[in-house]
C-alpha cells in the first residue's frame, strides 16, 4: 500500500500523454539550433532556384544530399518521379515519417524585400513557402535521427521528398507505390500566416483536360467549311458558368483556357482547357465532375466538332486527426510564440501596406486548437491522399504577416528572409518534438491510429489518376 501511493501520485502528476519538455524534446530543439545556419542555407538555395513541378532537380538533390550526409539511406527517383525520394534511418517500430515539399509557382519571382520587385523577371517564386516546408521537415527528421543514433529513441524515421504539389500532385503516385505502407504515423506542416496545429480538412479536387477537334478554314473566305473548336470551347465554358447557379456553395469549378486558337483569320481546329472541380468531400465532387464532363459532349454537338476528355489527377480531402493535433498543439505551446525584431515587424507592416491590409505585422501568438469544421474553405493538397493511407498530423506555422495574399510575391519575399527562416525553424522544432512524443509513448500512437481508423470508416482509397507513369514533361 505504501509502495503504491507514490506511484498513484506519479500518475496524477504526469499526464498520460507525457507531454512536457522531455530530454528528447530538448535535444530536438538543440539539434535544430545547432544545424540552423545549414538549414537556412538549404532553404535559401531552394528559394533562389525556385524550381516548379517535376523540375525540382536541384531542390530535391540538395535535400537528399543533406539527408545522406546525415546518415540516412536515401532512395532517389521513387514512384517514377526523378525528383521524389525517401530518406530512412533506424530500424523496427514505430515508423514515424515526415513529408516535405519543394516546388515553386510560375511567374511570381520576387526579391526578399517588402515591395514588389522580381528577382528574375517572369521566373518562378516560392509563393507557398515550400522552400521552408521541405527544409524544416528534413531538419526535424535529422534531429530525430540523432536521438535514434544516440540510443535515446527506438524505431525508424523517414523523410519523404514529395515533388509537384502545386501541379499534378506527386504524392498520389507515391501513395499508389505503397511508400507509406509501413508507416505508423506521418507528420506534415505548411507555411502559414498563423501558428496552430491544423485540424481542418481541405477540398477534394479533380483535374482533367478537355480538347475539341474541328476543321480549319479561312475565317472569311470559306468559314462554312470550318468547324470551330473555339466555338465548342466557348459553349462549354458558358455551360459551366450557367451550371454554377445550381451547384452547392461548397463546390468550386475552375478552368484555364490553354489553347483557344492561334490567329484571327483561321477557324480554329483545336482548343484545350484544363478544368478543375472541387468540393469539401469526394462524395460531393464526383457527381459535379460527371456533369461537367457531360457538358463537353453537349458543346461538341452544338459546334459539330469532336472532343476528348483526359483525367490528369485528383486528390482527396485531408482526413483530420485531432488526437495528433492535440499532441502538436501542446508542443507549440511548449515552444511559445515566435519572437520578431522591430525590423521584421516593419518588414511585415510594409508588405501589409503594399497589399492593402491592416498594418499589424506578424501574428506571433499560438492560435488555440480549433473545432474541426464540417465544410472547410480554402485550397486542396495532396497531403489528403497520404492522410487516407496513414494517420497524418498537420501543422501550420507563421512565415508571413497576417492576411498576406498567398501564392503571391509577398510570401516569396518573406520566405527568403528571417521571417520565413524563423517560421521554418519553429516548424522543425514542433515536428521533431511531436515525433519524439510518438516514439516515446506508444499509447499516443495507438490513440492517433484509433482516430484514423474511426474517421476512415468503410471508405476504401482509390487513387484518382490515370494508368501509366506520372505526367512528367506535360503541361
- Site of interaction with Zn ion (CB under 5 A): 128
Distance between CA atoms of 361 and 358, rounded to whole angstroms?
A: 8
CB atoms within 10 A of CB 443: 10
Structural contact between residues 87 and 159, judged by C-beta atoms closer than 8 angstroms: yes
What is the nearest approach in angstroms of Zn ion to the Cβ of residue 13?
41
Name the residue nearer to Zn ion (CB basis): 128 or 148: 128
State the residue number with the nearest CB to Zn ion: 128
Which residue(s) pair with 97 in the sheet? 158, 186
Name the residue nearer to Zn ion (CB basis): 126 or 402: 126
Q: What is the dihedral of CA 98, 104, 109, 110, to 10 degrees?
A: -10
What is the nearest approach in angstroms of Zn ion to the Cβ of residue 126?
9
Distance between CA atoms of 242 and 295, rounded to whole angstroms?
A: 11
3-class DSSP state of 353:
helix
Name the residue nearer to Zn ion (CB basis): 337 or 405: 405
Structural contact between residues 28 and 150, judged by C-beta atoms closer than 8 angstroms: no
Name the residue nearer to Zn ion (CB basis): 167 or 429: 167
Name the residue nearer to Zn ion (CB basis): 94 or 163: 163
What is the nearest approach in angstroms of Zn ion to the Cβ of residue 399?
11
3-class DSSP state of 265:
coil
Name the residue nearer to Zn ion (CB basis): 128 or 197: 128
What is the nearest approach in angstroms of Zn ion to the Cβ of residue 127?
9
What is the nearest approach in angstroms of Zn ion to the Cβ of residue 130?
6
What is the nearest approach in angstroms of Zn ion to the Cβ of residue 56?
13
3-class DSSP state of 139:
helix
Residue 140 phi/psi, 5° resolution? -65, -45
Name the residue nearer to Zn ion (CB basis): 128 or 153: 128
The bridge status of strand 95-100 relative to strand 185-192 is parallel
3-class DSSP state of 271:
strand
Taking the mean position of all CA atoms in its chain, how far away is CA 83? 16
Distance between CA atoms of 363 and 121, rounded to whole angstroms?
A: 31
What is the nearest approach in angstroms of Zn ion to the Cβ of residue 161?
15
Amino acid at each position: 500500500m505504501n509502495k503504491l501511493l507514490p506511484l498513484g501520485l506519479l500518475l496524477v502528476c504526469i499526464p498520460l500523454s507525457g507531454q512536457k519538455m522531455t530530454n528528447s524534446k530538448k535535444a530536438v530543439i538543440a539539434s535544430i539550433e545547432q544545424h540552423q545556419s545549414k538549414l537556412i542555407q538549404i532553404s535559401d538555395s531552394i528559394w533562389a532556384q525556385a524550381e516548379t513541378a517535376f523540375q525540382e532537380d536541384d531542390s530535391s538533390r540538395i535535400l537528399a544530399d543533406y539527408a545522406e550526409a546525415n546518415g540516412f539511406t536515401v532512395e532517389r527517383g521513387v514512384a517514377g518521379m526523378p525528383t521524389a525520394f525517401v530518406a530512412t534511418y533506424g530500424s523496427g517500430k514505430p515508423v514515424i515519417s515526415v513529408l516535405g515539399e519543394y516546388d515553386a509557382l510560375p511567374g511570381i519571382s520576387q526579391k526578399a524585400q517588402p515591395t514588389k520587385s522580381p528577382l528574375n523577371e517572369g521566373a518562378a517564386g516560392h509563393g507557398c513557402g515550400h522552400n521552408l516546408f521541405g527544409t524544416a521537415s528534413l531538419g526535424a527528421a535529422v534531429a530525430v535521427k540523432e536521438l535514434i543514433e544516440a540510443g535515446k529513441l527506438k524505431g525508424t524515421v523517414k523523410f519523404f521528398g514529395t515533388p509537384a504539389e502545386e501541379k499534378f500532385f506527386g504524392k498520389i503516385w507515391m501513395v499508389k507505390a505503397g511508400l507509406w505502407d509501413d508507416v505508423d504515423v506521418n507528420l506534415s506542416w505548411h507555411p502559414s500566416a498563423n501558428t496552430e496545429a491544423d485540424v481542418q480538412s481541405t477540398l477534394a479536387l479533380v483535374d482533367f483536360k478537355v480538347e475539341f477537334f474541328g476543321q480549319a478554314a479561312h475565317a472569311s473566305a470559306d468559314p462554312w467549311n470550318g468547324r470551330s473548336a473555339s466555338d465548342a470551347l466557348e459553349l462549354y465554358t458558358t455551360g459551366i458558368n450557367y451550371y454554377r447557379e445550381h451547384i452547392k456553395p461548397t463546390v468550386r469549378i475552375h478552368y484555364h483556357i490553354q489553347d483557344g486558337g492561334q490567329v484571327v483569320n483561321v477557324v480554329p481546329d483545336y482548343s484545350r482547357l484544363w478544368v478543375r472541380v472541387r468540393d469539401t468531400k469526394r462524395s460531393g465532387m464526383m457527381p459535379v465532375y460527371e456533369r461537367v464532363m457531360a457538358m463537353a459532349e453537349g458543346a461538341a454537338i452544338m459546334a459539330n466538332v469532336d472532343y476528348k476528355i483526359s483525367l490528369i489527377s485528383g486528390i482527396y480531402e485531408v482526413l483530420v486527426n485531432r488526437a495528433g493535433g492535440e499532441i502538436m498543439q501542446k508542443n507549440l505551446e511548449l515552444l511559445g510564440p515566435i519572437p520578431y525584431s522591430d525590423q521584421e515587424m516593419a518588414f511585415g507592416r510594409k508588405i501589409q501596406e503594399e497589399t492593402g491590409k491592416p498594418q499589424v505585422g506578424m501574428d506571433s501568438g499560438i492560435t488555440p486548437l480549433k473545432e474541426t469544421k464540417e465544410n472547410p474553405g480554402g485550397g486542396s493538397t495532396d497531403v489528403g491522399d497520404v492522410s487516407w493511407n496513414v494517420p497524418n498530423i498537420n501543422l501550420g506555422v507563421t512565415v508571413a504577416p497576417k492576411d498576406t495574399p498567398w501564392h503571391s510575391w509577398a510570401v516569396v519575399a518573406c520566405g527568403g528572409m528571417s521571417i520565413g527562416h524563423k517560421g521554418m525553424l519553429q516548424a522543425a522544432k514542433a515536428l521533431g518534438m511531436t515525433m519524439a512524443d510518438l516514439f516515446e509513448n506508444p499509447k499516443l500512437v495507438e490513440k492517433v491510429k484509433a482516430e484514423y481508423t474511426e474517421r476512415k470508416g468503410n471508405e476504401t482509397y482509390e487513387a484518382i489518376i490515370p494508368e501509366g507513369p506520372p505526367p512528367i514533361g506535360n503541361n
